[in-house]
Chain A
């Protein structure tokens, strides 16, 4: 068990990475062998994630130095800075790891029947594993260069997954747009890393945070990183690629591409809180994040309610919900230098923002899967051509209702708990922001009611009278997420205390992250 605990950070990334290259070979032996292998490998990886999560919860930050005499030897004897590649796993990294692993598991199970009979399945599962590797690597990496590397792995595999259905022209276009914006963003990230490296001669995030002087060059690097991550996380006005890509990606991969966007949000948090967290004027950075959040909430929801393509509508909602997360974290960042305000409402705002990430990924993944279940059966995403589907697709309707109520923030579902934290705390910071957030929730409910009415209620359309419920594996995939949504809604205190508050603390106390690597350095 000690071996597993010690080496879990690297095994979680290495096992699916190796599996990604074995899957196409096993595909030659048959679908059953390949699917069985993929599920077994991912089950093992999920177990390792659970082991590491418990370990991080119990002992705090975990370091894994590649090739060192001891796994936790970040700075070798005789050196004053880390020279090896390091994984640094704190509560925030682990929080993102749990999200990514859960969504991938549900997506894998869902895809088993969803892809049945289609060509290129080996590539699909292989790319899924690579996307998982990219996201977990992003969460765990302790140095800026590997942050870029894992960002690239996630982007390339994400774009290939988005363009998986090459027989659909819009799928190829969606994948193309995703790779273009990802490549340009990654170039700016690399440029910013170059600036930081040229100044401080280190790549370790902790070491950069330790030595940073907040020079003009550092501020330019922050601007580049901020814009690049805002593009990847689809913050308004850099959101336009998201509906084009999310809409066309196959159901199993859409939640994962969504999770990949939130990994960029994680990268933004890591940079702003950990590297620039000691900067005297975090207020300006906080307000910049709040403004992007507000714009995302408002523009996202107003565009969503106007859509008639069910997945495009959900894609715009993903942009809108991302705004809530940015709002919560922005408020925390704006008051991080003011201990009284931080304790009065800043910490709760951050808890709300972080809690909303996991809630949103779960219910949006469920909604995307429900939408794709409809597409799977009737072959269209146009809600104008739907009607009465609830009569024959009872499970899908139930999952849609759960997801819709959760995203609209209706109690007792999980979305309510995180939105409540955001409303209450943001109200104390600036009441206008809270009013906008509540208005956005109202329009969200209206847009999901519109789709529910037009797609699920009423008489069945003549063309869809004989439509059947989706196969069992798709129902199981959606059930995992539905159960989690209800559980998180019923026990919000447990979730906040166990995984959300530690993640918030990890972001706020950036000194702990630095000391875990640089502790021995004078």
Chain B
């Protein structure tokens, strides 16, 4: 049974895979009709950076720290608020535990009234 029913619709993965394979074959055929004059090991394949000297490949790789820099910069406030409780100190973890247990008991006591 490859089909998953959920209320008012269905999800049939195999149908989608067949559709994707057909699209993939069409793209491949289209691509194979393209320009064949490209030469891999020549200056054609060199990186062009406005004429500036291009650093070696190892130095060009963007490190994980720099990825999504703008996202983290714009959410600096949220992150400083979220990082604060992550102290790494087990005593703090247990304080949170006490607080949550107290709130849970209060909620369920009120629900039981």
Binding site for B on A (CB under 8 A): 176-177, 180-181, 184-185, 188, 214-216, 218-220, 222-224, 226-228, 230-231, 237-238, 240-241, 244, 279, 281, 284-285, 288, 299, 302-303, 305-306, 308, 344-345, 348, 351-352, 383-384, 386-388, 411-412, 416-417, 420-421, 424-425, 428, 446, 450-451, 453-455, 458-462, 489-494, 496-497
Q: Is B29 an interface residue (CB 8 A)?
A: no
Binding site for A on B (CB under 8 A): 1-7, 9, 11, 13-14, 16-17, 57-58, 60-65, 67-68, 71-72, 75, 78-79, 82, 85-88, 90, 92-94, 96-97, 100-101, 104-112
A223 to B109, CA, bound (A): 8
Q: With a CB–CB cut-off of 8 A, which chain B residues contact A284?
A: 107-108, 110-111
Given known A184-B94, A220-B109, A348-B7, contact A494–B68 (CB-CB < 8 A): no
Residue contacts A-B, CB under 8 angstroms, 12 given: A216-B109, A223-B104, A226-B104, A241-B93, A279-B112, A308-B65, A383-B63, A424-B7, A425-B7, A490-B17, A493-B3, A497-B1
For A308, give its contact among B3, B64, B107 (CB under 8 Å).
Answer: B64
Q: With a CB–CB cut-off of 8 A, which chain A residues contact B96?
A: 237-238, 240
Q: With a CB–CB cut-off of 8 A, which chain A residues contact B72?
A: 306
Is the Cβ of B11 less than 8 Å from the Cβ of A417?
yes
For B4, give its contact among A453, A458, A496 (CB under 8 Å).
Answer: A496
Q: With a CB–CB cut-off of 8 A, which chain B residues contact A230?
A: 100, 104
Q: With a CB–CB cut-off of 8 A, which chain A residues contact B112?
A: 214-216, 218-219, 279, 281
Q: Which 3 A-B pairs have the closest CB atoms?
A: A223-B105, A284-B111, A459-B57
Taking the closest CB of chain B, its distance from the CB of A339, in whole angstroms, is 16
Given known A180-B94, A184-B94, A412-B16, contact A459–B61 (CB-CB < 8 A): yes
Taking the closest CB of chain A, its distance from the CB of B86, in whole angstroms, is 6
Q: With a CB–CB cut-off of 8 A, which chain B residues contact A412?
A: 13-14, 16-17
Is the Cβ of B64 less than 8 Å from the Cβ of A493?
no
Is the Cβ of B13 less than 8 Å from the Cβ of A411?
yes
A303 to B110, CA, bound (A): 33
Q: With a CB–CB cut-off of 8 A, which chain A residues contact B58?
A: 387, 459-462
For A177, give its contact among B1, B6, B68, B93 (CB under 8 Å).
Answer: B93
Is the Cβ of A181 less than 8 Å from the Cβ of B93?
yes
Given known A188-B101, A223-B107, A458-B61, contact A240–B4 (CB-CB < 8 A): no
Q: With a CB–CB cut-off of 8 A, which chain A residues contact B68?
A: 305, 446, 450
Beyond contacts A227-B97, A284-B107, A412-B16: 12 other A-B pairs, Cβ-Cβ < 8 A, are A180-B90, A181-B97, A223-B106, A227-B105, A305-B71, A308-B65, A345-B7, A388-B61, A411-B11, A453-B62, A458-B60, A492-B2
Is the Cβ of A181 less than 8 Å from the Cβ of B11?
no
A285 to B105, CA, bound (A): 11
Taking the closest CB of chain A, its distance from the CB of B65, in whole angstroms, is 5
A497 to B107, CA, bound (A): 36
Is the Cβ of A420 less than 8 Å from the Cβ of B13?
no
Taking the closest CB of chain A, its distance from the CB of B81, in whole angstroms, is 11
A447 to B4, CA, bound (A): 28
Q: With a CB–CB cut-off of 8 A, which chain B residues contact A387?
A: 58, 61
Q: With a CB–CB cut-off of 8 A, which chain B residues contact A214?
A: 112
Given known A303-B86, A458-B57, contact A226–B94 (CB-CB < 8 A): no
Taking the closest CB of chain A, its distance from the CB of B75, in whole angstroms, is 8
